[in-house]
Structure 1
Amino acid sequence: TKPIDDAFASSGYTIAEIDSVIIVGGNTRVPKIQTVLQNYFNKELSKSINADEGAAMGAAYQAAYLSKGFKVKTFVVKDANLFPIQVDFDRDTEEGSRKSMSRTLFGRNNAFPQKKVLTFNKHNKDFEFAVNYGSKPEGFSTNIFNVSLKGVSEAIGKHESVDSKGIKAHFRMDESGLLNVESVEAVFETKVESDAEEMGNIVGDAISKFGESISKLFGRTDDETLLEKANETESTATANETASAKNETTEPKPDTNEANKTTAESANTTANGNQTEPKKELKIKTIKEPIDTTVVVLDLPTLSEDLLKQSRDKLKELDEKESERLTRDKVKNTLESFILETRVKLEDEEYSTSTTDDEKSNIETQLSGAREWLEYESDGAETKLFTDKLAELKALTKTLFERVREHRDRPEALAALNNMLNMSEMFYGGVAATPADDQIFTEVEIQTLKKLIDDTKAWVEQTVAEQSKLAKSQTPKLTLKSIAEKMAALDREVKYLLNKARITPPKKKPEKNESESETSDKNKTTDEKKTTDEKTEEEQTKEEEKSESETISEEPVVE
């Protein structure tokens, strides 16, 4: 039970604080393990979770929680490093000797991700430091990595006139618990004079910052960022080794109040007393000079070129095998689905009426044979064999499936052809009714369209009559392909005439001069007058004849 004791010692909990003991993992099914655990905790073990799936289920929930594509309940898992991590380095003493120093960077059970900053105040030349585990079980290396810094003296000499704040090394332990040196820099501070901010700007900035704080409060931020901000601190362990090491400590970031401490100058009025000079204040300006950093990893040594090549080849081989396995499974599933779907289709009326008894029996026999092979003999089969089986079944059922498709889609195709015939006839009627003076099509073109329409109509009547005499299980006479060809011919001819009409300009009528126009008008007036005179004489003659007939009819008849 030592691992359990270590867990309690690390967490700080006691057995009395434990409400329930949930066991996960396949090994917890062993009766002896359950007995030991039950005696240790002196309470009944909880077996409500599937021991084999518990860890996988938790990992799935954690992955969904971290992913942006899923929305789940809050599921927070906090990781912590099992061993303390410290920084070891040497520094010069006042007596001129070298002294080894050690500073704790991350304590035991330190939650991550987290950032820390370590400041070296007594170094003005290039130096090195090591990052090691503070304690670790025997048999394991305690070295993590060594860091070499170059360019320290040049950076300090570049800013001799300003106040040096030491060499700051920025460390980050990421979400996986891996420690990295993000950057190392020499930090300097100097005071600069600037105009004091107006009260209006101060109030405006305060309101702006308040609004940003409200947005952050109600806005949803990334959980990793929240955890980093909650854990992020740039202060580390205090100097608990020696009093002489007070200056070599992990320190927090500069105090905001100290950084913003200013000295305001008194306002000087001008001679007339009506104007004042702008106020001046001293601000602290931070200067950062990057330091060249070289990191040598020790706990995970770099692989040699040969081992690296072998590892890459092995990974490539595994990827190829995995890809082949996925392809094989996909083809196998496709074959199985095709067998099941085809057997169901054969029982459907649409398919059963479109096939003969012999054809249906042959297809069912082949499907049954493929099904048995798939269940009992396909375990070691390669991808090609599954592909060949699928191709054979598709070739066997191709004729039947095409026949069913012909019967299913024929009514819609015929309706489309008849609609195109009607449109073509309307177009022909308009062309044929066009006067000869305005006609832009030749007689050959018009007659060609007419013949094509008549031939298509006759073909439709004949093939529809022939098809109606055939059984559904026979080869169709009226096929979708032939209907599409007839539609394409009509469409091509009509489009040709439409394009010609679009690009052909209208015919121009001959223009008449003024003299011809006047003569024509005079002749037209004379003709109209003659017509009127003739009409008047004709009406007068008819009236005389009518009066004579009335006179004769009034005389008495002599017998």
Structure 2
Amino acid sequence: MNYKCISLCLAFVISTLFISLSDASLAAMSIDFGSQWIKMALVKPGMPMEMVLNEEARRKTPNLIIIKDNERLFGDAALAYSVKYSKNSFTHLMDLLGKKMDNPVVLLYKQRFPHLKFIVDGARNVVQFDVGGEIYSIESIVAMILRRCRELVENFAKQPVRDVVITVPVFFNQAERRALVAAAEIAELNLLQLLNDHTAAGLNYAAFRRKEITESVQTLLIYDVGATKVTASVLEYVLVDEKKRDEKNPVMTTLGVGYNRMVGGFEITQRLRDIFVNNFRKTKKTEIDITKNPRSMAKMLQEAERVKIVLSANVNFTAQIENLHEEHDFTMPVTRTMLEDAVRDLEVKLMQPIVDALKMADLLPEEVNQVVLMGGGSRVPLIQEFVQKFFKKKELGKFLNTDEAIAMGAVYQAAHLSKGFKVKRFDIRDLQIFPIQVDFVSAHSKDETGAGRLIHRPIYPMKSFIPASKKVLSFTSFTEDFSMNVNYGEMRELSADQLMEFGSLNISEIKIGGVTDVYVRETAKEGTIFKGIKTHFDLDNSGILHVDGAEMLLEQPSRAESTFASLAGKITGLFSTNNKIDETTEKNEEILESGKTNDKSYSTYSAGNQTKFEKPAGDNITSRQAEANRTTANVAEMKQEQKPQQIKISLKLMENILDVLPISDSEITVAKNRIAEFERREKEKAIREEAHHNLESLAVDLSDKLAQDEFNRFLTADEHITLQKEVSQVKAWLEDDVDINTPTAEFIENKRTIDELLRPVKVRMTEDQERPSVVGELISMFNHTEIFLHLAQNLTEAEVFTEVEINTLKNLLDGTRDWLTAKMELQNKLKPTDQPALPVSEGKEKLMSLDREVKYLLNKMKFAKPKVKKEEKAKETTAENDEILSETTEKPKTVSEEKSDEMSRDGQPLKDATDVKNKELKNGEQKDGATHDGSEL
């Protein structure tokens, strides 16, 4: 029984440890990586999906980083210094990922942020930043922000978190998606998926309205106005019956998408800032134009953002900036009409994504069931007016939380993809809106000029679903090394501007090597037939295309068929005497009969390639020939059933990226090391600042306390002088000598010196503060013990406590009371600086001893059984014996039973059953020393 209990305990401990360790690695998070704001969500065991709060307890964090003098600032801290360090502030970095320098989006970014120092990566032809002579790639800066997001989530979750789903705009192409994946790798995140932001928002909408989805198709249009983009997405929800599982689950399908990546809320802010700049130029005369001052322009931009938000709810407001430029203040009344007039020309650009989405979905505006607004820019009344007019007064839904919807939908997907969670099934079918095809020159087909004909093979056409199944492309005309290009197909749906913003239409060049060598080597073998070359393509759930490999397919005769041919030559001529027999017949007969154990005739194949036949009695040439003919027919049948053997030989594959070269492995390593170095310095700085703060707080606090009588009464004169001197020296040192280069150890050492001087003072203060409480508890314990003793002394008839136990408690109570009285008399005569006569620790020990003794007696009283008097016990025993005697008189006994009744436990005969019971009762009293209840007998 004990071993069983121990095993159960060990199993419980092991399972608990396993669960706790596994829980630490099961958490997952999502990052809504917007152009201007970042939102994060978390899911972990024991906690529902929820938004992550940053240090300021806010649900959204500015997507901003400042890098200056080997230090970094993120989020709200960076926003507070963005005006002061405008040349070192980097934001809206999503617009630069995976784009070449001549991309219109990059050119617009340089126009919006002219104060930043841009340089070109000569090898990749992409943007980089020069920060104090240090070169930073876009991927490395984005990785720093992602790493900071992970840190915020881990602080919120209080455990490590690596699994992540990151949301991206639906119009991100292959180069942009690869760049973000590289940034996640540098940040050491385990990327589960790049999820389109409209898909995340749609999933959030449906996951919490699951019961509203039925067999009837529902369509939803999500109109998202972000900082630097506008997207419109048409989604379809329907409940689908799964026959395999015999259940119905909801399915969300993206029907159509439209976008514009050159307008958004930031464009409106820019135009309002330009209004402020023009007004300042007209009203203020300056030596240098305000646009030449990055700090002043940053102030203007910040104020324009604030005024735009206010005008979304108010019709007028006053913009105010103190000391804007050359000691000039700026004040300007602004009305909503003024702002609307400045952006009214954007109506076409803002509404075109809705037109494109409906066209792709093949729907009319009135066929859309609901229109939902998303994004901070959708709060602008003029934009709502545009959408309302387009849908002819259809009610606009505003129930999706802009700050949460995408992050919460993405974390639902993260829980689904993570191994540690089980969520309700919700199928997602997203769209591949950019067709992908393979282009190659045919080895045989010629065009009208005589050159090889260019072949286009679509592998993932437009509107194919993500995730998609793997595709295999077969080539039967190539017997030498060849190459092919993976390109985007025709994109007629895109405008000319969108095609320029899209970038290169060529994705990669794939070279298949080793074809010639394998073909020559394998086809030289007898019976080998070349069947073609296969290449494997995969479009993963992040929308990124992968070339998984290439292989040559060959067909060879089966092994069994080869064995037949080999054995045929070895037995030729065995039956070539007076009567000729067909060689094939002999060969087939041998193979068919091989391995059989027939009593009449059998054949065996020896290791020496010799075939031995045993001739049965009465055999002749005619019978052998007939048997051979039958065997020939059977073997012919077997040959027809034999299938040729398929062989696959892997080929060399090399892929050259043609759109935007990915960041190299060496650059990734450099970026990781740089981030690690930043974090090391930041950790050292945090420790140093904490040590500085602790010392400074201690010095200021002690300086105040040394002037207070309540504190000084615990100090001797020498201690007061020493402490006063030390505090004065530390304060002077902090004010005069401490700078940014002061080592952390000096702060720690100075604090340790003051703590050593304060130690005896703190002991006295603690004794003085805690002593009254301990004395009060002792007095209260005395009262309770006296009451208990009085009750215990009145329980003599029940005999619960022995006299020794009562006397022990009484002596302990009297001794403790006398001790306290004597100690208090001595303590009252002492000064606060003297050694205490009544230490708090000693008082607590006395209290615990008394309390322990009382609890022991209370527990004994709780489980004690009341004793029954002997006279009553004897009467009950006699009545039971009479009843037993009457029962024995009624039942006849066997001989063995009579003998058993005549003998006692010591072998002596007893007169009757009453004597037996009385003897048992007597023995029981001697054994227990107390009477027993009648039921025990």
- TM (norm. structure 2) is 0.29
**Bigger Rg, which one:** 1
Q: Tell me which protein shows more strand as a share of its residues.
A: 2
Return the TM-score normalized by structure 1: 0.47
